[in-house]
Amino acid sequence: MLEHLGYAIGLFASWVNLLAIGGGILCGVVVGAIPGLTGTMAVALALPLTFTLEPVTGILLLLGIYKGAIYGGSIPAILIKTPGTPAASCTVLDGYPMAERGQAGKALKMALYASCTADFISNLSLIFFAKAIAGFALRFGPPEFFALVAFALTIIAGVSGDSLLRGLIAGFLGLFAATVGLDLVYGTNRFTFDSPDLMGGLNFVPVLIGLFALPEIIGGVAKPTGGLPRTATTQGSSLSFAEYRASLKNILRGSLIGVFLGAIPGIGGAPAAFMAYSEAKRTSRHPERFGRGELQGVAAAEAGNSGCCGATMIPLLALGVPGDVITAIILGAFMIHNLTPGPLLFEQQTGLVYAIFMGLILSSGFLLLAGLGCIRFFARIAAIPRALLLPAVAVLCAYGAYAVNSSLFDVLVMTGMGILGYAMQSARLPVAPFLIAFILGPMFEDNLRRSLLLSGGDPSIFLRSGICWFFIGLTVLSCVLLARRNLRNRRLTCAAD
């Protein structure tokens, strides 16, 4: 043990490794702060740079970019209602209303502190529980995934606002949009209208940008006061330790949710953020504040998506199975250096694994420093007059949508979703349920149909394991509690009338 630890310190103790972590995180924050430039794109572009680097240095560089991009996505989500990354889509719900009240600095700092705390917890989980958590994640087959996603879909009710009916309507619209493209099982066309561009379905990034950013731009142009300067004061922009401590419970719970979902391959940060947010709202004494600029909503959302970062490495290092798209790219970096992640990696390259763990622990501190430096720069965006800000955001949106696949069709998708988002806003239909259903819809359908194919149509396959029973029980319990809350709110409304 001590021999491996000494060798790991020798591998890691280099200014090149520190520069790789710090520089990677800083680049990731900047990339994440630009709508449309995702962490996946940044890690993929940086992969060739690792060819000539030492294995530890190259892997730490990619991990730094990954972690920085996840936090960086919260910056435009809070300031201009445009999530820089899909994982930051939940941060918009409370972050942007806080910025409108002149509390952009407070929201940005809470997002940073929650991200760093969750990232540190996620790293510790990777170090101490990698093999155990990865073994549990491997027990998930199609029925278990279906039960998990069914439970996750109950989040829709938690982010539906004042009307559950409007939230369900928005959710069904999201599920419909998710069916566009090739059938997941048989490969037949669905709602493609003979267009080859639609065969791959609607890309998530243009949909995300269109739903959140364009309605704000359209509304700013449509209103006579759209050219007035935006209110952005520094009053209330500092975050006190008491406020952080009050949010710590939600941060810790969101971190654990992120670790759990991040360790399951294919789930991702966005569902984890929404689930953490929903739990924070459900357990809050003032759930009515969520969606209107609640600081704890920002904390929960950022803890959920950042908690996934280290956890996605758990199945990669322990089993050789990538946890998401970015870790699949990082798997390529391992293979470039003739390293094969899995159980044998811990036996044959113990010093290398420990060196990576050392870098991961320090990465949370580097993220804090990079975030504090960037907040001072990016927070100035809140003071830009809307007459200048809205055209600039529109250009960024178009660029971000185009940059994903270098396709003008994605710009058209973004425009169409922007019009739909503005119509939903006018009809008081919440956007968050649409987005949740759009993300989870393909996973729900795919695992439902795969399970039924495996069982020959026998629905009892959904009760085959304790994991299925656990999540089905949570789904039923969640629905019962939601129904009770809805009835109670109706009675209170009727009594007030």
- Of the listed ranges 21-25, 109-113, 204-208, 227-231, the one predicted with least confidence: 227-231
What's residue 43's pLDDT? 83
Using CA atoms, how far residue 126 sits from 114, 129, 130, 172, in Å, is 18, 6, 5, 37
* Tens of pLDDT, residues 213-255: 788 778 777 664 544 334 344 344 678 888 888 889 999 999 9
pLDDT bin (cut points 50, 70, 90) of residue 494 is low
What is the per-residue DSSP string for 89-105?
TTTHHHHHHHHHTT-HH
The total of structural domains in the chain comes to 1
Q: Pick the residue with more confidence: 185 or 366?
A: 366
Can you tell me the mean pLDDT for 396-407?
76
* pLDDT value at residue 480: 80
Q: Sort residue 230 into left (φ over 0), alpha (ψ -120 to 50) or beta.
A: beta
Confidence of residue 113 (pLDDT cuts 50, 70, 90): very high
pLDDT tens string 52-77 = 888 888 889 988 998 888 888 888 88
State the pLDDT confidence band at 383, using cuts at 50, 70 and 90: low
Does residue 81 or residue 116 have the better pLDDT? 116
* 386 vs 94 pLDDT, higher one: 94
Confidence of residue 463 (pLDDT cuts 50, 70, 90): confident
Q: How far apart are CA 83 and CA 50, in angstroms?
A: 28
Nearest to 293 by CA among 89, 100, 73, 426: 100
Q: What is the pLDDT of residue 161?
A: 63
Burial class (CB in 10 A: 0-12, 13-18, 19+), 282: middle
Tokens of 353: 């694994």
Q: By percentage, how much of the chain surpasses pLDDT 90?
A: 6
Neighbours of 419 (CB within 10 A): 14
Query: Which pLDDT does position 230 carry in this prediction?
Result: 46
| Predicted pLDDT of residue 266 | 66
Q: 124 pLDDT exceeds 60?
A: yes
Q: Which of 9-23, 226-240, 320-334, 479-493 tops mean pLDDT? A: 9-23
Other Cβ atoms less than 10 A from the Cβ of 487: the count is 10
Question: Between 266 and 333, where is the model more confident?
Answer: 333
Residue 94's domain comprises 2-496
Q: Does the pLDDT at position 96 exceed 90?
A: no
pLDDT on residue 231 = 39
Q: What is the DSSP string of 132-179?
A: HHHHHHTT--HHHHHHHHHHHTTHHHHTSTT-HHHHHHHHHHHHHHHT
If we measure between CA atoms, which residue out of 17, 259, 9, 289 comes closest to residue 117?
259
| Percent of the chain residues topping a pLDDT of 70 | 84
Q: Do residues 166 and 357 touch, judged by C-beta distance below 8 A?
A: no
DSSP letter for each residue of 427-456: TT--HHHHHHHHHHHHHHHHHHHHHHHHHT
Close Cβ partners of 440 (under 8 Å, ≥ 6 residues apart): 149, 152, 153, 271
Q: What is the mean pLDDT of the chain?
A: 80
- CA dist 202 and 381 (Å) reads 30
CA distance 380 to 359: 32
Residue 253: per-residue pLDDT? 92
